Structure 1
């Protein structure tokens, strides 16, 4: 198999379990990709897409493969386009508060580079240490700081995009403000590689907060924790971080670390404020927590803050010690948080599978983690997928969404279509047809 002219990145695929064909979702592809192109330049991306367009060959774009919805899974006859080699931070401008970066830059690397200028990159998905900016843009990734700073789309100013015919276009603008034309950059963010291939982006950077304060509170019931979330929402405080962990998750953390979090209550909330008034703001948050909490503590000391945050950081590793997790993400209105968690527990009981729930209470984003023994082929059993279906149905029933930050990929198409409705799906399909008339860009993903 020959490489594109001028490219050293194409490799032949001759084994079905190539890591380039899968992501972290656990979804296994049918068949073997036709080839993998590890692009080292935008020109190589363009040439690869032109070749694909000439032959009508599907292209699946990937970064670090850290996705959890099957968006980078590639099967029979597909060209896998790996952008991890486009990993340069091209410009950081402290005056404009922007960075221009290639798609393969690791999110944490951008944040570290920005810190040298007294700035930070606000989106912080749980995969921040391994995921790429391009992948974050593809799924419109969120993270712990989403309650205050929003998601990836809120940080994107402009995108360099290779279209389905191989042409290169810049969408958006490098300025903080600008309303000329349709917001095509915003349309591409979250489109999971189905409308174009993002090769670079200009993103916003913000000043590193002058102060950070952290609070942790335990609650006797989920309802008490949900009441505290509502109280914070109307208090005037705006935490950068507001996380919730349920009792099952706390038990898993206790088993893994020797802590005793579950003995303090049925739920744990962790909040963090930042900025010049962080200490005054955390006092307001602590007052809202204290009304229903069994214990409350807060600090402005960095080392103590790490101790309080450790429970959230330990949650997924502790659950992974128990078994292979099926990591889901839904969002519901904050007013329905307690009901959502309570009914997820009911779903766990009905199907006889453990489900652990933690998430971003500040924006209603929950991560129900289903743990079930894999079958002889290493696949997650059907009963776990049935439990996931019930969770998605619950999210829609409560006025929420079936994915808040992981994306639709190939795993949630049925539910995405149910959430969107026939008219909206038809509109999605017409937009896709305009930008990708042959349907070669990540077919079978997103909706």
Structure 2
């Protein structure tokens, strides 16, 4: 059924066309969240202000059009999808305000949870909720789902740490609970609504049995249904209203900001992995630990441990554990090390009576602790990675009373066996009796759906009825558990929830069928297909963890969306459907505009690099292999051509001036149909031909210096304060540190192969890479000497695979491993902006780059939210909108900086263009603030 024409007309008047999406590609892409459900919205609206939300709700109410709000789409239970109007957050919902020295923080719904914690970290504070998706999920979703996590428990979730809220009701009314005048006006304008909420509270508190049931339910970790505890915890209807919004999953209103009471983030931590011989012993230890100074206790059954037992860094004994073994991963935190040691002694003493099969005792080493927590975090993706193509991975989320935890684990395992879920694993937040169980499920035929239906029916009966637990502890009710809310809560509480829903959303237009549904089969409908598309991406679980680091997010498609659309194209082709029109749109949206830097793989739970898929698709379209082969053989000549072009552009710059040349360049690019590259004042000057260095035996340590082809052709921009080419600056720094610098022979003809690979010519890329490795082997005397590459993308291309045993360094690793001990650093006071390139992150040197910058400057700025600059080799020239979009927030953050540093020349061009600050290699900064050590 289509949307009313008058509604669409009104929406087009309200929202600019570039933020309205109704085409098949966009609606499918946005219609996918992390759950195993799919609805295709008829219209997607990207909102940028509260005023737009208000007017949109007025419009929706007038024409009775259902509306669903969505933040990051990492929800697991189907609460962020719609077959009507899907409202998604744009760029301008990122406000945050720290109050009272960090004891409170006010956040808009678009702030990613980890970003909130990053601004609080210097103050030793954090927000209470700590969901596993905190690096991707947004505050709007965290509050709307009352998300918690490993350490949050029931005491530090959004409900318990809420200090204030600004919200928009279904009728478009805005209420800010921290605005006294606004509250007074609301009490008058909505007196009837507030009186009805107050009456619901009085009725509920007077119903002793119901009130006690509510209190019992929320002593457990519980997000099933609406937050009825608001009716027994508060008597002021305004407090009732704001707390009802927590966990309402967008069914009662829109949350436009929230103020949290923050919690301490203690700096001293220790972790241990204790393996008990059986589930009963393990679970008996949990109530004991609940009385101890522990921050987190995670349970892992034997199946969980088996799923990750081959993970690097795990003790060898994990593979040999007994079949009944069950482990607890324990963390304790404290404000001081001495207090931490007291706490550890107390915990060890409490656990002394319990038999232990194996253990990693408490460690304060962050590396070892990181490995232990990687075990826990690796369990979910371990199941997802081994599932059969076409099936989905489902993670359920229940709570048992802690005193019945062992029995609950045994009964769940029995249900797995009864229904044939042999791969299912159990892990969870033991202190709260909160267990996650993960299993794989196909929905391709009725028998598979019936199996799932029977299993979930048994789970609901077991958890909610037999054990009096909760069917959703922290993942939200969604569509998944909506049919079971009454079974868990009973008729009185269930009808109370419906009264609240009808009071605050009388037309039922806010996220229908989520949390509360009249359809007992809603959890079995609109099940998401996951058809085979390509081996590279078939394991994708569509969680959306990749999206925050993607430079095209908000411009075209994200990695998740690229996979969704490619899956759809392949499924349609197999069904005999003509996909030419869809593929034509996908060419730009999915292929051309992908930076293919692979940062998505760094965030992906199953390690998928969507850039690999895009490169494969580009290779299938690559039409000029002969030209690529010719270019590979004549690479030195190609570099001469680049220098000639840069020389001509620089001459035009001098003759015409930057403003006129930029206007002419933009006009020529338009006339060429965007085939001509974009010119920018940050375009480099050409570098003169690199002379070979005489090699002599000076008695100094040798280093083979590999200037990347970019460094051999592109010098500083005419406007850059640093005018010495990178090659000369690097050589000067290395010689200052006491090295004899050696260049490979036939340097101008050498290339790491990365430019060929990015264009879809992997054979030519590999040939150039092998040629370069051979030259480096000869120059380094068969690997005796370290090899220094001045650009991190080229370093990554060389070390990503077999490098013949050569020790190849990017600038960051070489500086921290070799130059720290040879140079004295005297930090400057001038502020410096740091850009950590994608390749630096892949090389694992991101934090090291920032630490080097901090040795060089007392004021280092790392812009939030810019993970990739979007220049992506030459895309900054040929697809400048990607670079523009990725760096759209850069200038206000760094304009006070004296300079910017990075480790990739092309990235620095885009960064300089969009910041108004000269970006150049880290080497310039290090050279300026160092001198040789006196000894």
| Same fold, judged at TM 0.5 (above) | yes
1:5 aligned partner: 14
User: Contact 2:102 / 2:123 at 8 angstroms: preserved in 1?
Assistant: no
1:436 Cα deviation (Å)? 1.0
Cα distance between partner residues in 1 of 2:293 and 2:453? 36
Secondary structure of the equivalent of 1:147? coil
**Cα offset, 1:238, TM superposition:** 3.5
Shift in alpha-carbon separation, 1:56–1:148, aligned structure 2, 3 A: closer
Structure-1 residue corresponding to 2:240: 183
| Change beyond 3 A, Cα 1:432–1:344 | same
Partner residue of 1:153 out of 149, 159, 167: 159
- Provide the residue aligned with 2:31 in structure 1: 21
What is aligned with 2:260? 203
In structure 2, the CA distance between the partners of 1:42 and 1:132, relative to structure 1 (3 Å rule), is: same
Q: Which runs of 5+ in 1 are unaligned?
A: none
Q: 2:143 aligns with which of 124, 137, 150?
A: 137
Structure 1 partner of 2:59: 51
Deviation per CA, 1:338-371, whole angstroms, max 9, x where unpaired? 1111111111111111321000001111001122
Q: Which segment is superposed worse, 281-290 or 308-317? A: 281-290
Q: Give deviations 1:168-199, integer Å, cap 9, x for gaps.
A: 1124689xxx9855432211101111111111
Q: Structure 1 residue 226: deviation in Å?
A: 0.5
Q: Secondary structure at the match of 1:254?
A: coil
Residues 1:113 and 2:112 aligned together: no
Q: Secondary structure at the match of 1:3?
A: helix
Displacement of 1:255 after TM fit? 4.2
Count of aligned positions: 437
Which of 221, 225, 231 does residue 278 from structure 2 map onto? 221
Equivalent of 1:315, from 364, 379, 385?
Answer: 379
Give the superposition deviation at 1:401: 0.6
Report if the CA contact (8 A) 2:249-2:476 is conserved. yes
TM-score normalized by the length of structure 1: 0.91
Q: TM-score, normalised by structure 2?
A: 0.45
1:401 aligns with 2:470: yes
Q: 2:487 aligns with which of 418, 430, 441?
A: 418
After TM superposition, the structure 1 = structure 2 runs for residues 280-299 of structure 1, keeping only pairs within 5 Å, are 280-292=342-354, 293-296=356-359, 297-299=361-363
Given that 1:102 and 1:201 are in contact with CA atoms closer than 8 Å, whether structure 2 keeps it comes out as: yes
Paired residues of 2:41 and 2:86 also in contact (CA < 8 A): yes
Task: State the shift of 1:398 in Å.
Answer: 1.1
Once the two structures are superposed, what CA deviation does each residue of 1:226-249 show, in whole Å capped at 9, x if it has no partner? 01112223xx41321110011111
Contact 1:62 1:72 in 2 (8 A): yes
Q: Which residue of 1 aligns with 2:409?
A: 341
Q: Are residues 420 and 84 of structure 1, via their aligned partners in 2, closer, same or farther at CA, if it must alter by over 3 Å?
A: farther
Q: Deviations for 1:114-142, whole angstroms, at most 9, x for unmatched residues?
A: 11333222211011111111111111101
Q: 2:278 aligned with 1:270, yes or no?
A: no
The aligned residue for residue 303 of structure 1 is 367
Q: CA deviation at 1:257?
A: 4.5
Which shows bigger deviation, 414-423 or 145-154? 145-154
* 1:428 paired residue among 493, 497, 500: 497
- Whether the 8 Å CA contact 1:371–1:384 is kept in 2: the answer is no
Cα distance, 1:331 vs structure 2:
0.4
User: More deviation in 431-440 or 81-90?
Assistant: 81-90
1:139, 1:191 within 8 Å by CA — same for their partners in 2?
A: yes
Q: Show the counterpart of 1:122.
A: 128
Equivalent residue number for residue 37 of structure 1: 45
Separation of aligned partners in 2, 1:356 and 1:173: 48
CA deviations over 1:295-328 (Å, ceiling 9, x no partner): 3411223222212222112111111112131110
Whether the aligned pair in 2 keeps the contact of 1:89 and 1:99 (CA below 8 Å) is no
Q: Larger % of helix: which? A: 2
Unaligned runs of 5+ in 2: 1-7, 181-233, 517-935
Query: Take 2:368 and 2:179, find their aligned partners in 1: how far apart are those partners?
Result: 41
Post-superposition CA distance 1:218-274 (Å, at most 9, x none): 0110011001112223xx413211100111111111145584425235111011111
> Counterpart of 2:115 in 1: which secondary structure?
helix
Q: 1:148 to 1:413 in 2, by over 3 A?
A: closer
Cα distance in structure 2, aligned partners of 1:149 and 1:214: 22
Q: What is the alpha-carbon root mean square deviation over aligned residues?
A: 2.4
Contact residue 59 and residue 80 of structure 1 kept, 8 A: yes
Select 1:60's aligned residue among 35, 52, 68: 68
Q: Distance in 1 between matches of 2:453 and 2:117?
A: 36
Contact 1:69–1:409, Cα closer than 8 Å, also in 2: yes
In 2, the alpha carbon distance for the partners of 1:163 and 1:262 equals: 54
Match of residue 97 from structure 2: 91
DSSP-derived class of the 1:33 partner: coil
What displacement does 1:279 show?
2.5
